């Protein structure tokens, strides 16, 4: 069951592609956070999704938001993927225990062993301001996400 808009976002701490610990609470009171849950590095749809985010990064920066990618891939996979794709935002490794953070948000697909495709906007107070699940083969509309973000106070 996916997390509800208005609910407190579950706290987490995961390593990014540079082996740095990233906590959701690091941004509380400072920035809205856009968490992009995606199945796997290197897959065609995920590659297209991140290309769209990278290309629209200026819009997220103008809206003073921190983008975080999150999948079950390892930090090493994330590092290679980020370098290849020109990704400068953190890609978080929900690797061990596999999918534990995605599970808290209701987007871990245990039967497949992957993170589902979803996007959550967490406001500066740590509440879920916007959330949408997507079909695995569908590239999310990043403009829709930016528009939703622009309405978060």
17-39 confidence digits (pLDDT tens):
999 999 999 999 999 999 999 99
Q: Residue 63's domain is classified under what CATH number?
A: 3.40.30.10
Residue 75 placed within a domain:
yes
Residue 96 placed within a domain:
yes
Domain of residue 99 covers: 13-150
Q: How confident is the model at residue 2 (pLDDT cuts 50, 70, 90)?
A: confident
Q: How far is CA 42 from the centre of its chain?
A: 16
Give the pLDDT of residue 102.
Answer: 98
Give the pLDDT of residue 112.
Answer: 97
Give the pLDDT of residue 153.
Answer: 77
Strand 91-93 and strand 32-37: the pairing is: unpaired
The full length of the chain comes to: 153
Q: In this model, does residue 1 exceed pLDDT 90?
A: no
Residue 98 placed within a domain:
yes
Q: How confident is the model at residue 75 (pLDDT cuts 50, 70, 90)?
A: very high
Residue 45 placed within a domain:
yes
Q: So which residues are the catalytic ones? A: 46
What is the average per-residue pLDDT within 97-118? 97
Write out the DSSP string of 71-110: ESS-HHHHHHHHHHHT--S-EEE-TTTTTHHHHHTT-EET
What is the average per-residue pLDDT within 30-56? 96
What is the average per-residue pLDDT within 5-12? 96
- Placement of tokens 């290197």 in the chain: 42
Q: What is the pTM of this model?
A: 0.97
């Amino acid at each position: 069951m996916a997390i509800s808009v208005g609910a407190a976002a579950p706290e987490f701490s995961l390593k990014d592609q540079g082996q740095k610990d990233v906590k959701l609470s690091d941004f509380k009171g400072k920035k809205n956070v856009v968490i992009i849950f995606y199945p796997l590095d290197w897959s065609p749809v995920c590659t297209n999704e991140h290309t769209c985010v990278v290309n629209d990064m200026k819009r997220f920066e103008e809206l003073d938001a921190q983008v975080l990618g999150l999948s079950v891939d390892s930090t090493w996979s994330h590092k290679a993927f980020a370098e290849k794709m020109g990704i400068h935002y953190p890609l978080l490794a929900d690797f061990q225990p596999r999918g534990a953070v995605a599970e808290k948000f209701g987007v871990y697909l245990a039967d497949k062993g992957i993170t589902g495709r979803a996007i959550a906007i967490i406001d500066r107070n740590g509440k879920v301001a916007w959330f949408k699940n997507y079909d695995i083969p569908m590239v999310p509309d990043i403009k829709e996400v930016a528009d939703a973000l622009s309405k978060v106070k």
